[in-house]
Chain A
Amino acid sequence: MTTYIDQTESYKGEAIKKLAVELLKNNTVDSLFIPFQNSYSGIPMPSLISDPEKTDGIEPIAPVAPFNSAKQAASVIKYATGKKTAFFLRPCEIRALVELVKLNQCTLEDAVIISYDCYGRVENKKYLELLSSNDQVNKDFYTDESLQNETTTTCKSCDAFTPLNADIAISFMGTDQSVFEGTSEKGSDVLSSLNSAIGGSLDLKSGGSIDQSIVEGIKEKRSKEKETLFSKTSETIKDVDSFQKMIGSCLNCYNCRTACPVCYCKECVFLTDIFLHDPDILHQRSIKKGVLKLPVDTTMFHMTRISHISHSCVGCGQCTSVCPSDIQVADMFRTVSEKTQEKLEYKAGQNIEQPIPFLAYKEEN
């Protein structure tokens, strides 16, 4: 494990951008997968960049994520192509990617994963609002605590914000510098080959220290938030009635499932003909109950999603972000998932060697 420090930039985003551009320029990788501000979206979108001359729009750590980009990342590395790609991802995106690897949706053979201490994200709408009054919001977010207070409920209560399973980890918390750390053999190799290619011009050197107590402090604060949130949520889903109340206004738009990075089915079972009911079934249900709320199968949908992927939920909060009915889907999911994963002695996105419980099927079970 080698540690490098880049002291040249005060805005961490610039340091990361520099690293990205150099990686591409020096052919250390063939392409970058990184948020990029293009001319037609207000929000930096994950982009696959292969031309080192077209890297200006790179915005690696804007405090926004249009979606959890793990599924998009997976589509680039569905199978090994020999094209080496550096993926700049948030910790929750890596966790989802690790789950997708286990679900046979992609392979990390050609991937170098680069990540950083995550301060969280604000909702897309909020970001555009902030941006309209402050074009330096990307930079200011990291120094202005009031901006950081605008992050999502999920982010505020996320205690898994440091890079895990990255090849190169970049630390901001507890240091004034940007500490680049090769956290895997692959990452260390990439860093040292890059450094020698550019004659040490990144001013990378061994050393660097992080004040762990600051990181721990943040973690403690967020864990507390999480605890409060989970116990509150447990109350709202304690039985079927409360659960149905919570999702009462669900309109079956399936946005949550589209936004979910581990809902990996090509086509959701709820979109197949199984749930395309003939009118006579609806009438039968109505006759039996007297009143039939429409759309039907909303409880079934959320329950099914819980049973299908609560073991793989990485707690990114995107399901809540995309809900048009303001249902706190993520709170519910995260609360249930933590229990599921505890029971299965499994933690989503953590150990890439440990198979997902339902895939480790044995006849004896």
Chain B
Amino acid sequence: MDRKFSTLVAGAGISGVRAALDLAELGYRVLLIDKKASAGGILSQLDYQFPNDHCGMCRTLPMIDRNNGAQFCLRKGIFHKNITFMPGCEIETVKGTPGNLSISLKRSPLGVDPEKCTGCLSCESVCPVTVKEDFNGNLSQRKAIYLPVPHNIPNKRVIDFESCTKCGECVSECPTNAIDITKDVGIETIDGIGSVILATGTELYNPDGVDLYNTSKIKDVVTATAFERIMSSSGPYKGKIQRPSDGKEIKKVAFIQCVGSRNLMIGADYCSSVCCMFALKEAALLAEKTKSSDSAIFCMDLRTFSRDGERYKERVKEKGVRFIRSRIHSVEKDDSGNPSISYVDADGKQKSESFDLVVLSTGKSQNLTHPSFIENEGVFGISETPDFKEISDSMINSSFASSKAIQIAKEYDYETKKSSTQINDDDPKLHIILCSCGNLFKENVDLTKITEDISRIYGIGITTIDQACSLEGWSELKSIIDEKGVNRLIIGACNPQIFSTKLSDNSLLTEIITLAEHISDTESVDEATKSILSEIASSIGRLKKYTPQKVRSMNISKRALVLGGGISGLSSAKTLSDSGVPVTIVEKSDKLGGNLPFISDETVIKSIKNLIEKVSSDSNIDILFNSELSSHKGVPGKFESVISKENTELIVQTGSIIVATGGGKASFDDENERVKTTFDLSIELMEKKVDAKNIVMMQCKDSRVEPFNYCSRICCGKALDNAIKIKEQNPDAKITMFYRDIMAYGDIEKKYTEARRRGVIFKRFEKEKYPEVISNDNGFTIKAFDFILNEDIEIKADLLVYSTGVAPQVDNLEKTLKLKTTVDGFIKEVDFKFRPVDTGKEGIFICGLRRNPANASEAEKEGVSAAQRALRLLNSEILISSGQVAHVRHSICSRCNACVTACPYTARFVSVEDRKVYVDDISCQGCGTCASVCPNNATIIEGFEEKGILDSIEAALG
């Protein structure tokens, strides 16, 4: 039986890619499928992400043993030796048991053989069918045979059989016979799969047909995804920010929030979680790109519940973007043809305003469920229901799922395939092969001059092949390589992608030149010839002097240090131990569980207690109570930490460190027993009834304002729980909740709905005007401004409950471990979206409250995710560095330490013993920043030795 793939990952969006990479990085082979013709999911359409308004998707790629996969823009496609991607596939059924699942796939034909397609476009030019291009939010058009993602590599065409008329024009036009329109949808069964990860994501709500938004009549009402495409340089207007109806430049945009979400009428009793941040980001980008400042976001609440979201919102506000609390009445065209929004504002007044464009913040589509096979053993979903998630949440949840898949792969002994890098250190034997592409290049380039010049100046042979992409051409090429004993090759052809996959053999160093580009970029045969000559010369310079990359290896300490025995620390330790990695937990107090005493949800309490039980009885886990990390040194794979425990010090050697020291309730002090915090009340409510009649809950106490200008994420949910519980106990209790934005993200929205249904009164206040509390003998009087009545009000209360937020632990770890923190003291991950649990230092990971506010189950998942990242290091006995790393030539190094400051991966350090600068091979990504600041080449990057590069530059200069 074929047991090639340990795991099948369904869905090649960012979640699926993360899960696939998790497994692939451990050496397991993964079958990645997507029902679409290309990978990348929704992110392939998005150019920019919060918080830095860049993309950064590539940061997901492996940073250890990175020679295994292609290291370039992940939006162009995923290329990893251990990942096989099958587009156009959906799971029909899953049968069998974990370790031996039999999966039948519905495979839709793509119509074009990717092996043969050269991306020459002749098919597109003859295709008579034109349809709207959904990739660009239907704002542009494409043919029935098309490139699903314009920036995909390789640029293979596919056929959209839904619109294809099967006229056959393209079949006869294709020069390589790559097109076949006769195939039907087929069913394929794959056996011996260990487990399945379901990462199929969700579908976006379709606002067409909803009268309110008028999309059918007004062209200038678009979805948020379409607007993202409008702003993209690869979008329908090539980056020119213009509106669809008349091409007018877009300056003033209205964003309408909660389109298809938080709407009981359509059964959407949920918040889609990401749309508020999405709208903020788009508003910020627009303001930035067009220097405009009059856009507005129409919302109920602005849910900026991620750690840095509040400050981001304020930055967007400073750019002039308005936030209008409102209910939308209608969208119509005004007299000058602009879309105009009629709405009811916070005061209850009806208003209207015209914009250049209206953007609908569409959330997830309602009533989606997972397919029934999710119930099968060995099938793991990224989320409980098809869900729309913020990227970092997706990453964490994916790694949570992949950790389960890895358990199965391990248990059923799936083969792991690690990199093996061949080294070619023979003397260079260079040859150049130029493909004349039929007659194309013969006409446009002076091939004779190229051959003569190269042999005159460089003494290197050139062979011209008629059609290197054809089978005959390919075998001619192969025989030249064999005959001449060539080990370094320069190929000039129309589409180099054809060769890059075929020539992945490491013993042949290859440089590929795209001849077509030189022809299209120049105006005459002479110019094209000169331009090609210069690139060939440049490649000769590089290849001649290229020193094959050496691979270093290092034995690792197969143990992990987990700092903190709270929820995230426990889940980390458990995951690591289950994967066979011994763990040392360092806990400051004398017990495990962290914030367990402040959790009121019975199921959560039970699961944490269960986790404590498992960890305590695990012989693979050492727990050091009453202890702390006091100092630390070493490199990833070999850290040495000094732990102080009750006046003694012990040294622990570990390959990796997980920071899970957590945090807790923000400090709050009020002696009045009728004043409580939301957290304390939730614990009290587990035991007894609350006898108060008039209860006032005040959100965001000392929170979301300086100096604690972040949302604590969990208080609104807890306050809603409390309110519902009190109402259950005493339906007559009068509860008023003062809030700024109810952060009821995801399904917490249901609690918000429930609380309102039970008669809890919600009153909003502005950041600048925290309600005033006057305490008296009978209780309190709360003075506030009522937006609906438009006047000051007074509310009496006999119980006052404050939501005081959470704060990170003060443990000085940022100094001991040299980690970065946010202004609020949370330890900062290296990339908020794409590498949420990686610190800037390889081998050290961060999870739980020490990183960001999170509820117990979020913290637990973060813990697993951090462990998952650590396993990349700890899973093997030795660490193999990538060939291309920097190293220091100590004999000429002046130790000015410029490189240490400059290294973006903190891969360099000065040894205390000999004051020399050293490079940690594993952390080094070969980026070359160090070499660029080093004045005398005491730092060099392997494979980029200056000699070859200088020769190459010289050659290029002519």
Contacts and interface: CB of A to CB of B under 8 A. Distances in A.
Interface of A: 79, 103-105, 264-269, 272-274, 280-281, 284-285, 287-288, 308-309, 358-361, 363
B915 A361 contact: no
A294 to B, nearest CB: 16
Contact of A267 (B456, B897, B936): B936
A266 B456 contact: no
A359 B937 contact: no
Interface in B410-437: none
A264 B896 contact: yes
Interface string B881-902: 0000000000111111110011
B878 to A, nearest CB: 31
A176 to B, nearest CB: 44
A104 B950 CA distance: 29
A288 B954 CA distance: 11
A103 B896 contact: yes
Given A274-B946, A358-B898, A359-B898, A266 B892 contact: yes
B458 interface: yes
Contact of B902 (A105, A264, A361): A361
B892 A104 contact: no
A274 B915 contact: no
A201 to B, nearest CB: 43
A286 B894 CA distance: 36
Contacts of B895: 104-105
Given A267-B892, A274-B950, A287 B456 contact: yes
B947 interface: yes
A266 B888 CA distance: 13
Contacts of B73: none
21 contacts: A103-B896, A105-B896, A264-B894, A264-B896, A265-B935, A267-B892, A268-B936, A269-B936, A272-B936, A273-B947, A274-B946, A274-B947, A287-B456, A287-B457, A288-B457, A358-B933, A359-B896, A360-B901, A361-B901, A361-B902, A363-B904
B894 A105 contact: yes
Given A361-B902, A361-B933, A266 B950 contact: no
B951 interface: yes
Contacts of A79: 915
A327 B87 CA distance: 68
A2 B697 CA distance: 65
B958 to A, nearest CB: 7
Interface in B628-686: none
A292 B946 CA distance: 22
Interface in B874-929: 891-898, 901-902, 904, 915
A273 B951 CA distance: 13
A264 B936 CA distance: 10
Contacts of B937: 269, 272, 274
Given A79-B915, A288-B958, A265 B892 contact: yes
Contacts of A360: 901
Ranked 5 nearest A-B pairs via Cβ:
A265-B936, A267-B892, A269-B936, A103-B896, A361-B902
A17 B458 CA distance: 65
Most chain A CB atoms below 10 A, which of B458, B935, B947, B950? B935
Contacts of B915: 79
A363 B459 CA distance: 44
Contact of B936 (A104, A266, A281, A288): A266
A70 to B, nearest CB: 14
A165 to B, nearest CB: 20
A113 B258 CA distance: 69
B939 to A, nearest CB: 11
B935 A269 contact: yes
A284 B893 contact: no
B892 A284 contact: no
Interface string B940-958: 0000001100110010001
B892 A272 contact: yes
Interface in B849-897: 891-897
Nearest to A103: B896
Contacts of B459: 280
Contacts of A287: 456-457
Contacts of A266: 891-894, 936, 938
A269 B893 CA distance: 11
Contact of B951 (A281, A308, A358): A281
A266 B457 CA distance: 36
A264 B938 CA distance: 12
A265 B904 contact: no
Nearest to A356: B898
Contacts of B901: 359-361
Contacts of B902: 361
A265 B947 contact: no
A13 B893 CA distance: 39
A231 to B, nearest CB: 30
Contacts of B933: 358, 361
Given A103-B898, A359-B896, 19 more contacts: A103-B894, A103-B896, A104-B896, A105-B896, A266-B893, A267-B938, A268-B936, A269-B935, A269-B936, A272-B892, A274-B937, A274-B950, A280-B459, A287-B457, A308-B935, A358-B933, A359-B901, A361-B898, A361-B901
B521 to A, nearest CB: 23
A358 B897 CA distance: 11
B221 to A, nearest CB: 37
B94 to A, nearest CB: 45
A360 B457 CA distance: 44
A292 B891 CA distance: 33
Most chain A CB atoms below 10 A, which of B457, B892, B936, B938? B936
Contacts of A272: 892, 936-937
Nearest to A297: B950
Contacts of B950: 274
Contacts of B896: 103-105, 264, 359
B524 to A, nearest CB: 21
A330 to B, nearest CB: 20
B18 to A, nearest CB: 24
Nearest to B52: A364
Contacts of B898: 103, 358-359, 361
